[in-house]
Amino acid sequence: MVKGKPILSDNESHTGKYSLEVQGSLSFTISPAVACKGDRGSHGNTPTGTYGKPANDSVCLECIGGFAPDANKKYIFSCWVKVNNPQPIISCSDATVDITCNGSASVSLKSEGPVIEGWQRVMGTFTTSSNNSVSFNLKQGNAATFFDDLRIFPADGNMVSYVYDDVNLRLTYSLDENNYFTKNEYNNRGELRRIKKETEKGIVTIKEVNSSLVKH
């Protein structure tokens, strides 16, 4: 369930070409009733088929699986936020992410740490209740706000993400366990030209390749 108007923007992005622009607030809820777990059907609790496909569930016949939080489990939420402010950005902490588990007291997360080319990371934990429905409310800062690279995963696990170009399908970014990216840049021939790494001190080039053809 989504409340608010999600805007997919190509004006700003932390990785890839797009980010989620929030004007005012945007909330969404994740619960077992709408998050299919492949062969567990649309409610995520009763196995109905094999090989990842439900036996008699028309809603999920083409489903390849999704995310549904487990009850009474600790999770890590992470994303990057940028406030569209013409002045030099010192902090984006006026933008917040509120997380509520089944109506219980919410956890309010703000960005912290270094601002890297206008982007600042939001990171924190929350614990689901016995009814494992979780609501997220993204609130803009003092201007239009962009959210990118949202990730939710168990606190006792780890996560690495990959971003591919939607036209040529080349790997353009990978995001490590701390949601910092490594960027691959290519030349016109599709050859890897440069590798950049996002760090707490900024974005640095860690590898550069030059090649040429010998004329005979």
* Residue 63 falls inside a structural domain: no
* Residue 138 falls inside a structural domain: yes
**Domain check: are 105 and 24 in the same one?**
yes
* Residue 135 falls inside a structural domain: yes
User: Could you tell me which residues come within 8 angstroms of residue 108 by beta carbon, excluding any fewer than 6 positions away?
Assistant: 96, 97, 98, 99
**Domain check: are 95 and 166 in the same one?**
no
DSSP characters for 136-156? EEEE--SS-EEEEEEEEEETT
**Domain check: are 134 and 165 in the same one?**
no
Output the pLDDT for position 88. 57
Range of the domain at 201: 161-208
* Nearest-5° Cα angle at 25, 166 to 97: 80
CATH number at residue 13: 2.60.120.260
**Domain check: are 85 and 178 in the same one?**
no
Closest CA to 97 of 126, 116, 122, 121: 122
Tell me, what DSSP letter sits at residue 116? B
**Domain check: are 122 and 191 in the same one?**
no
Strands 120-127 and 49-50: unpaired
**Domain check: are 203 and 119 in the same one?**
no
The three-state secondary structure class of 39 is helix
**Domain check: are 106 and 138 in the same one?**
yes
Output the pLDDT for position 102. 76
**Domain check: are 88 and 165 in the same one?**
no
Task: For residue 140, give Cα distances in angstroms to 86, 137, 211.
Answer: 15, 10, 45
Output the pLDDT for position 48. 44
- Structural domain total, the chain: 2
**Domain check: are 106 and 143 in the same one?**
yes
* Residue 114 falls inside a structural domain: yes
Residue type, 66: G
**Domain check: are 170 and 193 in the same one?**
yes
Q: Assess contact for 142 and 85: CB atoms under 8 A.
A: yes
* Residue 42 falls inside a structural domain: no
Q: Assess contact for 195 and 207: CB atoms under 8 A.
A: yes
**Domain check: are 25 and 117 in the same one?**
yes
**Domain check: are 169 and 204 in the same one?**
yes
Strands 134-139 and 96-101: antiparallel
**Where does the chain have alpha helices with state H?**
none
Output the pLDDT for position 99. 92
Instruction: State the 10-residue block means of pLDDT for the chain, 216 residues long.
Output: 79 95 86 50 43 47 65 92 75 85 81 92 90 86 91 94 95 97 94 95 92 68
User: Could you tell me which residues come within 8 angstroms of residue 188 by beta carbon, excluding any fewer than 6 positions away?
Assistant: none
* Residue 125 falls inside a structural domain: yes
